[in-house]
Amino acid sequence: MRKAFFILVFICASLSVVWAASFEDSENGYKLEYPLGWSASKMSEEVVKGNIFKDKITGVQVRIYDKHNMSLDSYSKWFSSDFIKQMQDRWGGIVKVIKRDNTMMAGYECIITSYDFTRGDGQLRFLKTYLFDHTGNKVYVLQCGTTMDERTVNEPIINSIANSFSFTH
């Protein structure tokens, strides 16, 4: 019993995440926190505004889109369909929706969708999107991914990054 307790304590301590810094994009009006061992950079691309990443295969991209006067729910359904098409066109393979939730996250209305992606090259990926509604007909999207093998380690960290999201204006 005592040995099992120490093993459990060791596992719990190993899973804890040390938060290193905040990433703030004052130009686009949002802020996120990310853990030690991850990096962040502001992007100058037209759609991708920020990139928070662990390595070349695990990360969170911040994107900002116009909702075209759609409700967040309607936009989310359109976005998911378009996202699946873009991923399959780029990488081949099959993307399937695992789960979709309408919720409040970090105090904001948010739609979270998880995807299982078997790429054309056989690589298994876990993808997740968080859509945050913003006034002024904008939606802020956190587009996230990791390998399926690393999902159990990285998904809680990705969730914590998303839960730290806040609008700064």
CA distance 63 to 116: 21
Question: Which token pair is 95?
Answer: 């993307």
| 116 has pLDDT over 50 | yes
CA distance 93 to 82: 15
DSSP secondary structure string for all residues of 7-67: HHHHHHHHH---EEEEEEETTTTEEEEEETT-EEEE--SSSEEEEEESSSSSEEEEEEEE-
Q: For a pLDDT cut of 90, what percent of the chain falls above it? A: 80
| 165 has pLDDT over 90 | yes
Cβ atoms 149, 122 nearer than 8 A: no
Instruction: List, for residues 26-67, the tens digit of each pLDDT value.
Output: 999 999 999 999 999 998 778 899 999 999 999 999 999 999
Cβ atoms 32, 23 nearer than 8 A: yes
Cβ atoms 160, 154 nearer than 8 A: no
pTM, two decimals, is: 0.88
Question: What is the arithmetic mean of pLDDT over 106-127?
Answer: 96
Instruction: List, for residues 131-150, the tens digit of each pLDDT value.
Output: 999 988 999 999 999 999 99
**Helix and strand numbers, DSSP H then E, in the chain:** 3, 10
Question: Given this model, what pLDDT does residue 44 score?
Answer: 79
Question: Quick count: other Cβ atoms within 10 Å of Cβ 24?
Answer: 17
Question: Given this model, what pLDDT does residue 4 score?
Answer: 45
